[in-house]
Amino acid sequence: MINDFNYLKPGSVKEAFEMYAEHDDCKVICGGQSLLIVMRQGMVAPEYLLDIKGLDELRYIKYDEKDGLRIGATTTHREIEKSPIIQEKYPVLSLMETKLASIQTRNWGTIGGNLAHADPAGDPAPVLIALNANIKVGGKNGERTMPLEDFFKDYFETALEKGELVLEVHVPVPPAKTSVAYQKFNLLDSDMGIVAVAASITLNGDDTCKDARIVLGNAAPIPKRVKNAEELLKGKKFDEKLFEEVGRISYEESEPVADIHASEEHRRHLLSVLTKRMIKKAWEQARAVA
Amino acid sequence: MDNLKVVGKKIPKIDAPLKATGAALYIQDVKIPGMLHGKILYSQYPHARIIKLDTSKAEKLPGVRAVVTAKDMPPNFRIGIMKDNPPLKSGKVLSIRDEIAAVAATTPEIAEEALSLIEVEYEELPGIFDPLEAMKEGAMLIHEEAKSNILKMPWRLICGDVEKAKQESAYIVEDTFSTQWVTHCCLGTSGCVAHFDMHNNLTMYSNTQIPSLAQNDFVEALNAFGLKNRRVRIIQAVIGGGFGSKLDTYAYEYIAILLALKTRKPVKIIFTREEEFFATSPRQCTITKISHGCDKDGRLTFRDVEMVLDNGAYTSWGATTPSVMMLPISSLYKVPNVRYIAKCVYTNNTYCQAMRGYGNPQATFAIESSLDQLAEKAGIDPLELRRINANEPGEITPQRFKITSCGMKECIEEVYKRLNWKEKRGKDNGRGVGMASLIHVGGGARVYKSDGCGTIIKMDDFGKVDVFTGASDIGQGSDTVIAQIVAEVIGIPIEDVNVINNDTDICPWDVGVHASRTTFVAGNAALGAARKIREQILEAAGKILDEDPADLDIKDGMVFSTKNKEKSTPLGKALRKIHYTLGGKMLMAEYFYDPANENFDKEFKGNLSVSYAYGAHGVEVEVDRETGKVKILNYVAAHDVGKAINPLLLEGQIYGGGLQGIGYALGEKMVYQNGRLMNGNFLDYKIPTAKDVPPIQPVIVETDEKDGPFGAKGIGEPGLVPTAPAIANAIYDAIGVRIKDLPITPEKILAALKAKDK
């Protein structure tokens, strides 16, 4: 049963910063699709809830051809999924959202809330890290920006300091001939991933690999880059045997844990298969883009 | 049968708008002035001795009105079919869901807090969680007073001579198959409100699917409480799904009764979703050893089945599912020699209940998987093997079932055709097809002394009808089907029929929603009552119109002469004339229908149902050899339903059953580890959602059952009976590995592929 709590509803980001600084034992709620579950289970029982979902200052999707994409923290998953500019410029983000839980959840849940929750099985983080995204956080004492992959520290732990909120996700303009592919493995269509892999491939003019980013979801306490595999790909040509090799690196470098849904070995195996497939898919897509 | 106006039409469920808009009132919505909220404290251990139980702190919490323990229950009061389950436990707890105390308080929050103030000390005891362990000589006894963990339920069916048939068979296969616990996942969780009047008569607001039998159970309970000769009234709220889970009465209901008696206030107990998972009774898991034989032409010679069922710590209807498993074991396809022996075994696990299919899915998984093995051994196409052995009308099966209408062959042909069987089979390219058939009761089932249902019809002054039926609607759509039948028979629009089905003070007796019997039995009862009232209308209208009643007909609410079209009157006007006259009368009729089926004899033989439902499911799958994931590309579900009273609802039953079966086959599993449920929530218990529905083609085969209302047979359960073996068989065709324990997970598939490659 959810505990009794005091409900704080700021009218502006500034007021949110102040309220958050003033109240100890305060959790931020921004959609509640993850928080309410753990509150209902009694795992989290804060004295205060600071509800920032209504802050329209943070609810935006902006795109600029030089600066890239900026998504405000209170933007819902559904808004990202349905955004024409995201569908055009970052289709992998929109596709990822179509498989993130149910429409009801996507209507409630927000990108800021999702990232701040820092569930290693979350869908957006691996895709955004593959897209080289940054995250802007801030509080009463100012704002700071960091690469998203540095934001995650441990299971459900982030770099947010006391009094800080997630404010914005920034996705730079991808280099030429770049494409990102993402897939999670699950048994039900929109379930959490047993594991997931996002891969970004940038090609040179001669179709060799210029750059690669491979991010594993639910494979470690935080979204996990497989940098050895990325290095191996650079300068190489399309080669399915190479992709097998890269998959093996994912198998070895991942640190999944067993649970009732899958053994550790099965998870590693799936990570190797999905890594191989996502590199191939991203590579093929990258050939087709300008 | 021609010119039907309402029956046979795709009419949306009458209650759909209420449910879609949130206007329907479920048990959660029931509020009575002064009502208290009850909460139950469950055991911390699956097997332990209670050393200390101190409720004094909880009693002192402001807002708490009563705290009860086993001491407050009548001594020796037990529930369940074996009377082995005290609603509140003392001394020893035998499973993780054992109820040891309960609280009634002014709010659910206070009740919850009070539970945390109850101090319990346990001495944890080693448990037995494996039925095979529990069966061993000298195993610790779960119930100390019993001599063995094997229940005294000697399930044993012998037809013909299996040993002799084994010697004479050209081909024989033998293997072992197992199934897991799955749960009903009703969206409406369990709950009740117990309310005594000042004379100690009890009203139970309930979502039971057996109001008449529950009434009987509660009368017994009141007797045990020393309240003799009291009335019990069951009022059902709108029920958010049953699937068999509400086929028994449960400890929480007796606890609510006790708390209501103690506080002299109405007491409401509503399960949380977590309670719904761990404290209700799932489908039993089974271990089935099966052997099949056939002659050189593929004709089945025998079927030999031994089964062990994990009964859990107490006994509900789950322990009687072997009685229904006998149906497919003895009579799915023509098989002259049959042996079936089943043992239900006490363990420290959760105890089991009825769930859609009532054992049939577990038995059919073993039978139909084994039949594919036999077909392979005999070198016969598995679909052809089933054609050769298919049941036929007029057959009397070894268990003495009298087969009347039977569309099994038509169903198999539909699968063959719509699945493109010949083209798709045996390609060894990661894609494959498989099939399985089913038999189920389709004309009631005499498992109780009566298989009856009563119906009362009354007409008002305006041509509208109230139908009082014993049949409960648990979401399956019986209120719509009954309204259709009554509207059709009388000759009025369906909007003029009001079905009342939720109050034992008003509605006649019915044995309950089980055995896919409601359309057949309650439909026949409604049909009988509607015919009687139609006769009364025509009789009275004959006098008004000065016509022979035999020449009158009713259509769209108008009574008219078939000979002289000018002679007519609106039904309402005729009714008012009949009513508002000296010596006038109101039109009412009643009918009690009890099908002419038989209880089993001592050998478990007899014609259990007056008709049998058949079907065949065919499925095309694609298996990802690298990940082990199974994708369903095409799913054909052909069902012999006699006659579709409402094809829309019927297809809904097939979709729903099929999807439930797909969950059973490919993913659903209650994970119990040492008696504790590890996945009691919708995040971790993987039930398919609307987005997971594969392309299902429901195919309705109509065989016009002579005893059915408008020719109909039952369809409530069959939709999930053959699903799992059809999928398992398709996977075998696709990748050459057979998974013999459900669910068929990617991990099992990969392990089997690895073993095969070695």
pLDDT tens-digit series, residues A149-184: 999 999 999 999 999 999 999 999 999 999 999 999
Q: Are strands A26-29 and A48-51 parallel, antiparallel or unpaired?
A: parallel
B462 and B567 share a domain?
Answer: yes
Q: Is residue A290 over pLDDT 80? A: no
Residues B651 and B576 in one domain: no
Residue B404 lies in a domain: no
Per residue, the 3-state secondary structure of B134-171, as one string, reads HHCCCCCCCCCCCCCCECCCCEEEEECCHHHHHHHCCE
The CATH number for A157's domain is 3.30.465.10
Same domain? For B692 and B570 the reply is: no
B271 touches B279 (CB < 8 A): yes
**Which ranges in B613-684 belong to alpha helices (H)?**
647-666
**B757: closest CA of chain A, how far (Å):** 17
Reduced to 3 states (helix: H, G, I; strand: E, B; else coil), residue B505 is: coil
Give me A253's structure tokens: 């470098």
Does B462 map to a domain?
Answer: yes
Pairing between strand B202-206 and B232-236? parallel
A189 chain-B contacts, CB cut-off 8 A: 689, 691-692
Is the Cβ–Cβ distance between A106 and A97 less than 8 Å? yes
Closest CA relative to residue B621, chosen from B727, B471, B744? B727
Number of domains present in the structure of chain A: 3
Residue A131 banded pLDDT, cuts 50, 70, 90: very high
Residue B208: CB partners within 8 Å, gap ≥ 6? B214, B234, B236, B246, B249, B472
Kindly state whether residue B1 falls inside one of the protein's structural domains.
Answer: no
Residue A256 lies in a domain: yes
> Is B487 near chain A, with CB under 8 Å?
no
Specify whether the CB–CB gap between B373 and B738 falls below 8 A: yes
Q: Does B690 touch chain A (CB under 8 A)?
A: no
B654 by Cβ neighbours in 10 Å (0-12 / 13-18 / 19+) ranks as buried
Give the residue from chain A lying closest to B684, CA to CA: A261
Domain with B555 in it: 16-23+452-593
Of the candidates B534, B710, B556, the residue with the CA atom closest to the CA atom of residue B5? B556
Neighboring chain B residues of A269 at a CB cutoff of 8 Å: 750
Conformation bin of residue A218: beta by default, left when phi > 0, alpha when psi is -120 to 50: left
Residue ending a domain, among A113, A147, A171, is A171
10-residue mean pLDDT profile of chain B (758 residues): values are 87 96 97 98 98 98 98 96 97 98 97 98 98 97 95 96 98 98 97 98 97 98 97 97 96 98 98 97 97 98 98 96 98 98 98 97 98 98 98 98 98 98 95 98 96 98 97 96 98 97 98 96 98 97 95 96 93 95 94 98 97 98 98 98 98 97 97 97 94 96 97 97 98 98 98 94
Look at residue B394 in the predicted model and tell me its pLDDT. 97
* pLDDT on residue A213: 98
pLDDT at A3: 87
A210 and A110 in a common domain = no
- B627–A1 C-beta distance less than 8 A: no
B272: which chain A residues are within 8 Å (Cβ-Cβ)? Answer: 1
CATH number at residue B80: 3.90.1170.50
Nearest to B378 by CA among B304, B433, B435, B296: B296
Query: A135 and A64: one domain?
Result: yes
Q: Considering only CA atoms, which of B395, B431, B397, B434 is closest in space to residue B412?
A: B434
Distance, CA of B479 to CA of B502 (rounded, Å)? 11
Domain count, chain B: 3
Q: Pseudo-torsion of CA B499, B503, B507, B509, nearest 10°?
A: 120
Which residue(s) pair with B132 in the sheet? none
In sequence order, which residues have a C-beta less than 8 Å from that of residue B496 and are 6 or more positions away? B463, B464, B465, B487, B557
Other Cβ atoms within 10 Å of B21 Cβ, number? 8
> In angstroms, what CA-CA distances link B740 with B325, B338, B744?
18, 22, 8
B217 in the same domain as B109: yes
Please state the ipTM of this predicted complex: 0.95
Residue B65 carries which DSSP code?
E
CA angle B628, B723, B671 (to 5 degrees): 60
User: Is there a single domain that holds both residue B620 and residue B715?
Assistant: yes
Is A176 inside a domain boundary? no
- Predicted local distance difference test score (pLDDT) of residue A41: 86
Is residue A167 located within the same domain as residue A195? no
- Name every chain A residue with its beta carbon within 8 A of the beta carbon of B684: 260-261
Q: Does residue B414 sit in the same domain as residue B463?
A: no
Q: What letter would DSSP give residue B190?
A: P
Q: What are the phi and psi torsion angles at B544 (to 5°)?
A: -65, -45
Query: Do the beta carbons of residue A175 and residue A210 sit within 8 Å?
Result: yes
Q: In chain A, which residues touch B (CB < 8 A)?
A: 1, 37, 102, 185, 187-192, 260-263, 266, 269-270, 273
Runs of H (alpha helix) within B210-344: 211-224, 251-263, 273-278, 321-331
Question: Residue B240 falls within a domain, yes or no?
Answer: yes
Contact A189 B692 (CB under 8 A): yes
Residue B289: which residues within 8 A CB-CB, separation 6 or more? B174, B175, B176, B305, B306, B307
Interchain contact, B112 vs A1, CB within 8 Å: yes
At B482, which CATH number? 3.30.365.10
Q: Are residues A40 and A70 in the same domain?
A: no
**Tokens in use for A9?**
């509803």
Taking an 8 Å cut-off on Cβ atoms, the answer to whether B747 and A260 are in contact is no
B626/A262 Cβ within 8 A: no
On whether both A66 and A155 belong to a single domain, the answer is: yes
Residue A119: give the domain boundaries: 56-171
B192, part of any domain:
yes
Tell me which chain B residue has its CA closest to the CA of residue A268.
Answer: B627
Nearest to B490 by CA among B509, B468, B466: B466
What's the CA gap between B382 and B375, in Å, rounded? 5
Query: Do A147 and A223 share a domain, yes or no?
Result: no
Q: Give me the CATH number covering residue A42.
A: 3.30.43.10
User: For residue B757, how many other CB atoms are within 10 A of its CB?
Assistant: 7
Residues B431 and B492 in one domain: no
Element (H, E) at B39: strand B36-42
A237-257 mean pLDDT? 97
Q: Of B593, B625, B642, which residue sits at a domain end?
A: B593
Among residues B278, B309, B341, the one where a domain terminates is B278
pTM of the model: 0.97
Boundary-marking domain end, from A33, A51, A69: A51
Cβ-based burial of B44 (10 A; exposed 0-12, middle 13-18, buried ≥19): middle
- φ, ψ of residue B96 in degrees (nearest 5): -70, -15
Do B261 and B38 meet the contact criterion of CB atoms below 8 Å apart? Answer: no
End position of a domain, from candidates B223, B246, B278 = B278
A188, A261, A273 ranked by CB distance to B692: nearest: A188
Residue A140 sits in the same domain as residue A216: no
Residues 6 or more apart whose CB falls under 8 angstroms from that of B317 comprise B81, B244, B247, B248, B353, B354, B358
Residues facing B270 on adjacent strands: B191
Asked, for residue B491, whether it belongs to a domain, the answer is yes
Is residue B216 assigned to a domain? yes
Q: Alpha carbon A221 to chain centroid distance?
A: 14
Residues 6+ apart with CB under 8 A from B197: B203
Judge if A98 and A61 occupy the same domain. yes
Based on the fold, state whether residues B582 and B613 are members of the same structural domain: no
Percent residues over pLDDT 90 in chain A: 97
Query: Do B618 and B530 share a domain, yes or no?
Result: no
Q: Answer whether residue B400 is part of any domain.
A: no
Whole-angstrom distance, CA of residue A106 vs CA of residue A117: 15
**Closest in A185, A192, A261 to B627, CB measured:** A185
Q: Are residues B541 and B565 in the same domain?
A: yes
Residues A80 and A41 grouped into a single domain: no
Judged by CB atoms closer than 8 Å, whether chains meet at A187 and B667 is answered as yes
Interface with B, mutate which of A187, A260, A267 (most B CBs under 10 A): A187
CA dist., res. B237 & res. B29, Å (int): 9
Instruction: Say whether both A37 and A102 belong to one domain.
Output: no
Q: Which residues of A touch B627 (CB under 8 A)?
A: 185, 270, 273
Q: What is the DSSP letter of B119?
A: E
Q: Which of A132, A150, A171 is the last residue of a domain?
A: A171
Residue A1 lies in a domain: no
Same domain, B657 and B702: yes
Whether residues B420 and B477 share a domain: the answer is no
Task: Determine how β-strand B465-469 pairs with β-strand B497-500.
Answer: parallel
Q: For the domain that residue A189 is a member of, what is the CATH number? A: 3.30.390.50
